[in-house]
Structures are given as structure tokens and as C-alpha cells.
Amino acid sequence: MDDHSVLKTTPLNALHLSLGAKMVPFAGYDMPVQYPLGVMKEHLHTRAAAGLFDVSHMGQVIVRAKSGDYADAALALEKLVPVDILSLKEGRQRYGFFTDDNGCILDDLMITNRGDHLLVVVNAACKDADLAHMKAHLPDCDVTLLDDRALIALQGPRAEAVLAELWAGVSSMKFMDVREVPLHDVACIISRSGYSGEDGFEISIPQDHAVSVAKALLEHPDCEAIGLGARDSLRLEAGLCLYGNDIDTTTSPIEASLEWALQKARKAGGDREGGFPGADRILAELADGISRRRVGLKPEGKAPVRSHAKLFADADGLKELGEVTSGTFGPTVEGPVAMGYLPVTHAAAGTQVFAEVRGKYLPMTVAALPFITPTYKR
Amino acid sequence: MLKFTAEHEWLKLEDGVATVGITTHAAEQLGDLVFVELPEVGAELVKDGNAATVESVKAASDVYSPLDGEVTEVNQAIVDDPSLVNSDPQAAGWFFKLKLKNAADADALMDEATYKELIG
């Protein structure tokens, strides 16, 4: 059987093909890895103007309390996620993650207060497991996958101008705001967020209208279609984690340097301290510290250091320290960039470590994340 | 005369020395190169063994030696500027020169017409 025959497609599949995309299997979907522009130029275009990404493979899920009360849905989801969802204001979004009983990460997600319910967006590869997890643990909520909506991301310094062609009110939105807005008379849910380190938007569109909205955005001379290849190099330069690479069920959020995502209410002494899976470990790590941490890594030479490259304290490969979890060439940085885990003894910025690449030990320097200066519109 | 391999390398043969590079088709498939690692001058390469590494933003790929031989020269210009491989893969973007162990081995490689049929 042809591998592609079992792949799912997004509502924009035919559009990708018409634009000349190179398609690859990704998380069970037939997705564009690059367009004729190529990864390098797609990356640079997104940082200079605006890029449109199809992220419809991600799971858009409604969590609604059977009581109809937002607070009940928020408190229910807080049992699975160590962030403050109760105090999230209507029309605002927040980053979080599902933790397991070991205090590690089952998936990361975006959570929006939509007034009387929550909208959560989860990773494609974890979608089915996340749905089952929420259904099993939120008996007083209805958990519904929105499988009839596309999701596109519009990212870059010209994203606001591109979207303004369809909706003049866009400039009133700030980073992490979420609004329901008609684009071409189609009810879309727009958030001012993304995964590139740039200002930008994610737009949820009823699937039957996804192509017309995407085409309308692509008509703008500053907007190009961008594939998963550039999406990865953009997020890595921005220091953002990729689930399955940088975070997974072997990493705690504290080890992953994501402690900023835990608000006061869920930490020791907070109004709703703990009460999520693995809280014992995560709160203990906040109090007592950790032994290893996710850090940025800048190879000193020109060779990219890819995921799973082993990290050593010395140039002879004698003392192993950890592993690279993501690594590529950063087109904006104009050099290789990576992230990985190191013992806290070797995690300070400026520390030199060595990565094993094709039998050689290449020097790398621990670097502050992100590698670029984000341009979020706060 | 140019010869080609199924691994998408080209060879230009002169007096038992082959100048080796990757084909235009391979360069297009790899996309914009950001890093090239070449063998050392004097290295003894074996047919189908690793000879060089090229990396795009997305991934690393191996370049194999098309025949047995000794490296006599490498193209430092593509190490300094890997984009040269994309812009001129079958001339200025050459990789290394190989003094063939048996010059006659090259006869078995594909000619340009056969290679073009292979890549369709």
C-alpha cells in the first residue's frame, strides 16, 4: 500500500498542491514541508514580511462544563494542567501543558477563555490521546473535537497589515488576545499568537471556507505560503519547544525551563496550589531545584548539530552530559542553533560543551534563549 | 565526458582523475545548502563509502564516493559558501578530485542520457 493513501488531508491540501508544495507525511497528515521558494527563503520571508502556514492538523477542542459555567470548565481543566485557567479573562489565551503522574509533559497546548467555554489547541500527534485524557478526567464537561475547522497561522511583521485587508479592526488586538471575527462573512476565531517568534495570528476557519480565506490572505504581495521546514527553524530560533523533541514524558516542565508558564495560584502558597498530575514532583522542583535544564546551544563552527547528538564536558567524549533535542541552521541567525538538556552545573550561558557529530566533538556554547528578539505585540 | 551514478553524483574524467560533484537534480532535491564537509586530501575512498556530508536547513545528507581512489584536491570554495553548490552544481560547485584506482571502472557508470532517464 502507498503510504500516502492512509494519510489524512487538511482542507487546504489542494491549495498546497496548486502552489507547488513538496508534501510529506507529518503526524498522520499529508503536509507541505516547503514550497518552491524553499526553506531558507520561506524562513527569511516570514521574518521580513508575512508567512501563511497551514496548521489544520492540530487539534481544536471545545471544553464546556455541563453546568454551562466557565469557572467549572476552568477548574476541571486545572486538574490536568498546572496553570491558572480560572483567572484567564474572556478573550484571552494562555500556554500550558498536560502533566502526567510523574510530573512530566504529555503534550503542550494553548488554552482560551471563550466566555462560557474553553477552546484548547493541541498537537496533531497527541490529539487522540489528549481527547481521551480529557474525556476520562473531565466527567462534568463535554469535550468536543472541532474536526470541521481549518487552522492557519499568519506570522511576521507584515501579518497585521495582511490581515487588515480582511478586517480593519485587527490592530486593536494584543498578544494572546482572541476574538471571533467575520472574515469574508465567515465566522473565524482569531488569536494574536503563533510559533515563530514574530508578531502574528492563528485563524480558525470553518473548513468549507478555509481555501477562500487563505487565498485572500495570499493575494497580499507581502504574504507567502510557508511549509513545515521553515516553521521548525523559525520556532527553534525563537526558543520554542517542539513536543516530542524538546519536551515529552521524560521531561518535567521545570527541567524544560517552562516554569514561567506556572502562575502563582498553582504554586506553593497559591489559592489553588497543586491539584494537577505530578504536582508533588513539580512543586518540589520549584522549591528545591533540578539537576538538569533545557538550554540554548550555539555551535561554534558552521556545522548544524541535530537532535540526539550527545553532549560532552570535554573534547574527547569522556564525560557525557546530555543530548541535543532540536538543532538546525538558523537562517536569521546565519548559523547553526540548537537546544538540549544539560546538568545545571553546565547550564550557565557561556559554558562550553562538546557535541558528537560524525565521530568528531564539536564545541558549542550554552546560549540564552531565544536566539532572535521576538516581536510580539504586547 | 561526464559520467553519473544512481546516488546523483557526476564525474568529469581527465587522465585517470575524476572531478566529482552532485547533480543539478540532487542539488534541487536537497534545497539550499548551509554546510559542506569534504574529505581530506590524501584520503583513500572506496566506492559507495562516505565521502562528504552536505546539510540543508532541514537535514544532513551523505555524499558517497562513486569509485575507489585517492583524494587529490578539494573545493574549499563550497565549504566557504555552500550556496555555490545550489547555484552551479555541475561546474563551480564541484566537491573533490579523485585519482582513480582503476580508471577503467568509470566505464561502467551511466552516461548523461541514461541518468536523465533514471530521474525521469
pLDDT at B22 over 50: yes
Mutation target to probe the B interface, by most B beta carbons within 10 A, among A44, A302, A307 is A302
Inter-CA distances, A14 with A9, A154, A171, A333, Å: 9, 19, 31, 33
Measured between CB atoms, does B44 come within 8 Å of chain A? no
Q: Could you tell me the sign of the dihedral formed by the alpha carbons of A261, A369, B79, B47, in that order? A: negative
Nearest CA to B64 out of B45, B89, B44, B83 is that of B45
Q: How far apart are CA A290 and CA A281, in angstroms?
A: 10
pLDDT at B1 over 90: no
Here the CATH number for the domain that contains residue B31 is: 2.40.50.100
Measured between CB atoms, does B88 come within 8 Å of chain A? no
Q: From the CA of A327, how many Å to the nearest CA of chain B?
A: 9
pLDDT at A110 over 50: yes
pLDDT at B80 over 70: yes
Condensed to tens digits (0 to 9), the pLDDT of residues A259-316 reads 999 999 999 999 999 999 999 999 999 999 999 999 999 999 999 999 999 999 999 9
Instruction: Name the DSSP letter for residue B107.
Output: G
**A228-237 and A39-48 are packed helices; what angle lies between their axes, rounded to 10 degrees?**
60
Give the three-class secondary structure for B97. Answer: strand
Residue B17: its H or E element: strand B17-22
Condensed to tens digits (0 to 9), the pLDDT of residues A308-354 reads 999 999 999 999 999 999 999 999 999 999 999 999 999 999 999 99
Ordered structural domains, chain A, with CATH: 3-54+148-237 (3.30.1360.120), 291-378 (2.40.30.110)
Helix/strand/coil (H/E/C) assignment for every residue in chain A: CCHHHHCECCCCHHHHHHCCCEEEEECCEEEEEECCCCHHHHHHHHHHCEEEEECCCCEEEEEEECCCCHHHHHHHHHCCCCCCCCCCCCCEEEEEEEECCCCCEEEEEEEEECCCCEEEEECHHHHHHHHHHHHHHCCCEEEEECCCEEEEEEECCCHHHHHHCCCHHHHHCCCCEEEEEEECCEEEEEECCCCCCCCEEEEEEEHHHHHHHHHHHHCCCCEEECCHHHHHHHHHHCCCCCECCCECCCCCCCCCCCHHHCCHHHCCCCCCCCCCCCHHHHHHHHHHCCCEEEEEEEECCCCCCCCCCEEECCCCCCCEEEEEEEEEEECCCCEEEEEEEEEHHHCCCCCEEEEEECCEEEEEEEECCCCCCCCCCC
Mean residue pLDDT of chain A comes to 97
How many structural domains is chain B composed of?
A: 1
Nearest CA to A197 out of A226, A244, A233, A222 is that of A233
Residue-level pLDDT at A207: 97
CB contact under 8 A, A39 and B32: yes
CB contact under 8 A, B57 and A331: yes
> What is the residue range of B6's domain?
2-105
Mutation target to probe the B interface, by most B beta carbons within 10 A, among A242, A329, A356 is A329
Residue-level pLDDT at A1: 42
Q: Is B93 contained in some domain?
A: yes
CB A361 within 8 A of CB A158: no
Q: From the CA of A334, how many Å to the nearest CA of chain B?
A: 9
Condensed to tens digits (0 to 9), the pLDDT of residues B38-60 reads 999 999 999 999 999 999 998 99
Q: Say what the ipTM of the complex is.
A: 0.89
